[in-house]
């Protein structure tokens, strides 16, 4: 089988659970751990398709990721095409990257907004960040009934506990903090998102406001889908904690304390055991070893700058972006 091939041939007409990740080469090792953990918790009676949206992965990364394919989990690579929409996003991100503490100014975050249009064959799909580890069957997440909602996602726990973020989303984003969701785990009603022209709305807002935001694509998502998001249970997007409840099915290493950077962080064993079977273990170990004091300091400063930015932007009189 050619390495360009996309994995196990799944019989046509078999219902699959589509799971999307969006990555560049830098995210490939974390995505591999996430996918590996996914394959280890699937229902043997169901079929899954992991679809990786990327901006040009090298052959080694593709080959290593392709090796994660199992009997009932297939893998598909899809390179983002250079559309006018993507150009607008890249231009916006390049401009924003110049701002201090901009964690989220990579165009890769916006690829997920293209899923509804790029995959018209699917009515519903799951999206996961690369910095997650599965402990349960992602098929159960896919099965969650969305009702009239366009999406299911979890109320952002970082916004709940960090007052600067809370004020920022209430005032600058204009979405009540108890409604504002984290975009790392999404169940998308693709049909509804197509119908409401989700992507072109996002592009319009980017062009119209050109706003300096704390979590740009996540902020846009919350504004566009305000009132149309079903709130997921925290078992599907849990913060890594020391005594993780047994029923947690997905852990999200969101924002800080990444196990591939720091030692002695919560849930690190779960991450390393998922990374083990991937072919990226050596890279990840080297990455951790190279994350010296200087890099740790810079990392902490970045988080500090992000919180400061949220505080500054929260002083606005009215929301920075509006539908
Ligand atoms: Mn994340």
Distance CA 304, CA 310 (A): 10
User: Quick check: is 257 in a domain?
Assistant: yes
DSSP β-ladder status, 250-252 and 47-54: unpaired
Those residues whose beta carbon sits under 5 angstroms from the ion ligand 1 are: 129, 131, 184, 254
- How far is the CA of 313 from the CAs of 167, 184, 217, 221, in angstroms? 9, 23, 16, 18
Between the CA of 2 and the centroid of ligand 1 the distance, in Å, is 32
Between the CA of 154 and the centroid of ligand 1 the distance, in Å, is 12
The residue with tokens 């904690």 is: 241
User: Quick check: is 3 in a domain?
Assistant: no
Between the CA of 147 and the centroid of ligand 1 the distance, in Å, is 26
Q: Phi, psi (5° rounding) for residue 251?
A: -110, 135
User: Quick check: is 58 in a domain?
Assistant: yes
CATH code: domain of residue 90: 3.90.550.10
Between the CA of 233 and the centroid of ligand 1 the distance, in Å, is 17
User: Quick check: is 91 in a domain?
Assistant: yes
User: Quick check: is 2 in a domain?
Assistant: no
Tens place of pLDDT per residue across the chain (323 aa) = 444 445 555 555 678 999 999 999 999 999 999 999 999 999 999 999 999 999 999 999 999 999 999 999 999 999 999 899 999 999 999 888 776 556 677 889 999 999 999 999 999 999 999 999 999 999 999 999 999 999 999 999 999 899 999 999 999 999 999 999 999 999 999 999 999 999 999 999 999 999 999 998 999 999 999 999 999 999 999 999 999 999 999 999 998 889 999 999 999 999 999 999 899 999 999 999 999 999 999 989 988 989 999 999 999 999 999 99
User: Quick check: is 141 in a domain?
Assistant: yes
User: Quick check: is 33 in a domain?
Assistant: yes
Q: Rg of the chain over CA atoms, in angstroms?
A: 19
Overall number of domains in the chain: 1
Residue 43's domain spans which residues?
Answer: 16-313
């Amino acid at each position: 089988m050619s390495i360009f091939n996309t994995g196990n041939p799944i019989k046509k007409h078999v219902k699959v659970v589509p799971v999307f990740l969006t990555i560049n080469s830098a995210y490939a090792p974390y995505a591999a751990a996430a996918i590996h953990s996914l394959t280890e918790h699937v229902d043997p009676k169901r079929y899954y398709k992991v679809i990786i949206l990327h901006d040009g992965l090298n052959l080694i990364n593709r080959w290593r990721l392709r090796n994660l394919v199992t009997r009932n989990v297939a893998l598909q690579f899809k390179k983002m095409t250079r559309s006018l929409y993507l150009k607008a996003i890249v231009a916006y991100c390049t401009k924003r990257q110049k701002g201090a503490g901009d964690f989220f100014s990579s165009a890769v975050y916006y690829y997920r907004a293209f899923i509804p249009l790029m995959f018209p064959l699917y009515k519903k799909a799951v999206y996961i960040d690369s910095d997650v580890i599965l402990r349960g069957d992602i098929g159960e997440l896919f099965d969650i009934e969305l009702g009239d909602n366009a999406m299911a996602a979890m109320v952002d726990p970082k916004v709940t506990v960090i007052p600067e973020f809370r004020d920022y989303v209430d005032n600058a984003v204009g979405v009540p903090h108890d409604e504002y969701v984290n975009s790392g785990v999404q169940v998308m009603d693709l049909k509804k998102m197509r119908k409401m022209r989700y992507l072109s709305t996002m592009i319009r807002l980017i062009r119209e406001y050109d706003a300096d935001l704390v979590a740009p694509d996540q902020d846009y998502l919350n504004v566009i889908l305000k009132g149309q998001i079903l709130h997921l249970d925290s078992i599907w997007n849990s913060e890594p904690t020391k005594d993780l409840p047994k029923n947690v099915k997905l852990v999200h290493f969101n924002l800080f304390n990444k196990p591939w950077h720091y030692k002695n962080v919560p849930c690190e064993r779960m991450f390393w055991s998922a990374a083990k079977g991937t072919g990226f273990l050596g890279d990840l170990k080297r990455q951790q070893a190279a994350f010296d004091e200087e890099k740790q300091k810079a990392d902490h400063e970045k988080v500090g700058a992000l919180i400061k930015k949220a505080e500054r932007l929260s002083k606005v009189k009215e929301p920075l972006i509006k539908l």
